Amino acid sequence: MIETWNKYKKIFNVIALLIAWAGLYSVMPAIGEKGINPSYTTEAVIALVLAAGFVVYILPLLVSGADSFRIFITSPIFRRRWGKFKTLKRGYYAFLLIIALFVLSLFAEFFINGNAIMVKYQGSYYFTLFRFISARTFGMRGYGNPNYRMMKDVFSVRNKERAERIKAGNASEEDLKYEQWGDDWVWLPIYPYSPLESLLDELPTRPPHPPTWLTGEWRKAYIGESLYQLPDSLPTPEEITEKFKRPDWVDLEPAALYLEMAHAGMLKLKPEVREPGTFQHILGTDDRGRDVFARMVYGFRTSLSFSLVVTFCCYLIGITIGALLGYYGGLFDIIMQRFVEIWSAMPFLYTVMIFAAIMIPNFWMLVVILVMFKWMGMTYYIRAEFLREKSRDYVSAARAIGCTDGAIIFRHILPNSLTPVISFAPFAVVADIGALVSLDFLGFGLPAPTPSWGELLGQGLANLTKPWLILSPTLAMFLTLLLVSFIGEAIREAFDPKQYSRLR
């Protein structure tokens, strides 16, 4: 791996420079909007300088680090421990399940999305999943993003009407063209609702809407907004006892009687009310009428990617600094240790809250803020590992045959000191998910429309009578954290086994 890299170093560096430049430049306008950064040229130059710095100073570190990680995971001792991990069924299956769910959630757009995957209209095919196509293109009203669910219904009605016209022999010119084109169709994802899409126009009652299979809750909402068609006259006592077979309803006031009848499903909704299907919104909608299930799935993706990125960055910084401290020691070690000590004395949650509240961060800024106050944890372990490994014979041997410091660090010591990294990672992921959910709950997390569990919990706290707003995020978070901690437990047992011996 490292040999391939060295062989094509120049090409790879240029590619990395371009990617980093483009990436940094695309992040920059976010700063520019706030008036710190005046012009695009300046932005491009700053991005180029930063990208060059990245390629010269950080990229070699990353590549060598990745190579040490490769040495670490291909070593026989890792293989043996991994074999042990595989035998711990609970942790191993939790690991497979989380990986599968995460990979699946990366493709969530294909399963849970208000945009259609593909549309056939007048003989042409449109791939609509990631593209904005005006509603007008498909012969619908308006210039915005079309409502593909409605379009599917409209298309099927039009198709049917056209078939009838052709059958009756009074086909128009367009109808004849359709003979060649074939029928129009819309290919919707399995769960055709987006996490950001407000469904206020499509659902009859006010949000938050209950899960659609909770018929009783819906009926309550229908009564609350008088969407029922009341009969012309009150049912007579005889009708109630004989037709409805509910003698206990006879003495009820009219309002209470209608309530009971609505609950029993005996009343009809007004004709203009469109009732949702039983499994249309399986977890209901939130207080802005957005589908909760879609938000949960996208929230899972956001939480997990966020925590993985934060853990990765924290470990990158922690390992680098810990390795430098442990390997070089001396004055640098003393000063830096004091600094780490000072930095860890910050009240973590409140400092992060201050930064997040004042800066109103996006995803990457929030990552930076969290990493800024969390990277210290790993330095202690790596520093201790380096201090221990440095005095081993194989390091002296490596030095005797003339290895450089870089080679000793990356090829010899680092692969031997990565065990704590592996065994702490799952618990760090749990902590990061918790931190993100807490920040989102307090309203200092990801910006407003981003689907997130914490934001949903915050809504739940404001609507305590709507259990689906609380149960869904709590359960989702509980199950995710449980799976991750199963993994953590199994990894700890496989990688850091403590054999407790007892006399009796």
Partner 1 sequence: MYSYFIRRFLLMIPTFIGITFLCFTVTRFVPGGPVEQAVLRYQQAMANTSEGGGGTSDSAMEQGQISEEMMQQLKAIYGFDKPFYIAYLHWLWRVLHFDLGTSDTYSRPVWDLIKEKFPISIIFGLTGFTLSYLICIPLGVWKAVKHGSAFDTGSSVMVFIAYSIPGWTAGVLLLMLLGGNAFLDIVPSGGKESGYITEKSKLSMFLQQGALAVDLPAEIRSQYPKLRDNQQISANHPAFAHVPSEKRFQLKTGGHADLNFVGRLLDSMWHMILPVFCYVLGMFASKTVLMKNSLMENLGQDYVRTAFAKGLSERTVIFKHALRNSLIPIATGLGHMLSIILAGSYLIEKVFNINGFGLLGYESLIARDYPVTLGILVIGSMLKLFGNIMSDVLYCIIDPRIRFS
- Of 263, 188, 284, nearest to 219 by C-alpha is 263
Interface with partner 1 (CB under 8 A): 34, 338, 341-343, 345-351, 353-355, 357-359, 430, 434, 437-438, 441-444, 457, 460-461, 464-467, 470-471, 474, 477-479, 481-482, 485-486, 489, 498, 500-504
In the bound complex, what is the minimum distance in angstroms from residue 437's beta carbon to partner 1? 7
Residues with Cβ within 8 Å of 403's Cβ and at least 6 positions away in sequence, in order, are 411, 412
| H/E stretch holding 199 | none
**471-473-479 Cα angle (round to 5):** 95
In the bound complex, what is the minimum distance in angstroms from residue 500's beta carbon to partner 1? 5
Of the two residues 343 and 364, which places its CB atom closer to partner 1 in the complex? 343
Strand positions, DSSP E, 261-371:
268-269
In the bound complex, what is the minimum distance in angstroms from residue 342's beta carbon to partner 1? 4
Residues with Cβ within 8 Å of 326's Cβ and at least 6 positions away in sequence, in order, are 333, 382, 383, 384, 385, 386, 387, 390
Of the two residues 381 and 444, which places its CB atom closer to partner 1 in the complex? 444
In the bound complex, what is the minimum distance in angstroms from residue 266's beta carbon to partner 1? 26
Q: What are phi and psi of 199, to 5 degrees?
A: -105, 25
Structure tokens at 503: 């006399």
Of the two residues 210 and 415, which places its CB atom closer to partner 1 in the complex? 210
In the bound complex, what is the minimum distance in angstroms from residue 365's beta carbon to partner 1? 12
Structure tokens at 178: 């359709």
Of the two residues 17 and 308, which places its CB atom closer to partner 1 in the complex? 308
390-393: long-range contacts, CB 8 A cutoff, minimum separation 24: 390/326, 390/327
In the bound complex, what is the minimum distance in angstroms from residue 305's beta carbon to partner 1? 19
Please, are residues 152 and 139 in contact by the beta-carbon 8 Å criterion? no
- For 419-461, the DSSP string reads HHHHHHHHHHHHHHHHHHHHHHHHT-SS-TTS--HHHHHHHHH
Q: What are phi and psi of 282, to 5 degrees?
A: -70, -20
Burial class (CB in 10 A: 0-12, 13-18, 19+), 499: exposed
- Of 378, 370, 354, nearest to 309 by C-alpha is 370
In the bound complex, what is the minimum distance in angstroms from residue 3's beta carbon to partner 1? 44
Of the two residues 359 and 384, which places its CB atom closer to partner 1 in the complex? 359
**DSSP secondary structure letter of residue 136:** G
Of the two residues 110 and 364, which places its CB atom closer to partner 1 in the complex? 364
In the bound complex, what is the minimum distance in angstroms from residue 360's beta carbon to partner 1? 8
**DSSP secondary structure letter of residue 147:** -
Burial class (CB in 10 A: 0-12, 13-18, 19+), 1: exposed
Please, what sign has the CA dihedral across residues 60, 65, 68, 69?
Answer: negative
In the bound complex, what is the minimum distance in angstroms from residue 444's beta carbon to partner 1? 7
CA torsion angle for 77, 80, 86, 90 (degrees, to 10)? -70
Of the two residues 390 and 466, which places its CB atom closer to partner 1 in the complex? 466
Of the two residues 146 and 460, which places its CB atom closer to partner 1 in the complex? 460
Of the two residues 65 and 445, which places its CB atom closer to partner 1 in the complex? 445
Residues with Cβ within 8 Å of 141's Cβ and at least 6 positions away in sequence, in order, are 135
Please give the Cα distance from 109 to 99 (Å, whole number): 18
Of the two residues 73 and 354, which places its CB atom closer to partner 1 in the complex? 354
In the bound complex, what is the minimum distance in angstroms from residue 84's beta carbon to partner 1? 19
Of the two residues 451 and 458, which places its CB atom closer to partner 1 in the complex? 458
Of the two residues 348 and 364, which places its CB atom closer to partner 1 in the complex? 348
Please give the Cα distance from 371 to 438 (Å, whole number): 16
Orientation angle between helical segments 292-328 and 419-442, nearest 10 degrees: 140
In the bound complex, what is the minimum distance in angstroms from residue 463's beta carbon to partner 1? 9
In the bound complex, what is the minimum distance in angstroms from residue 349's beta carbon to partner 1? 5
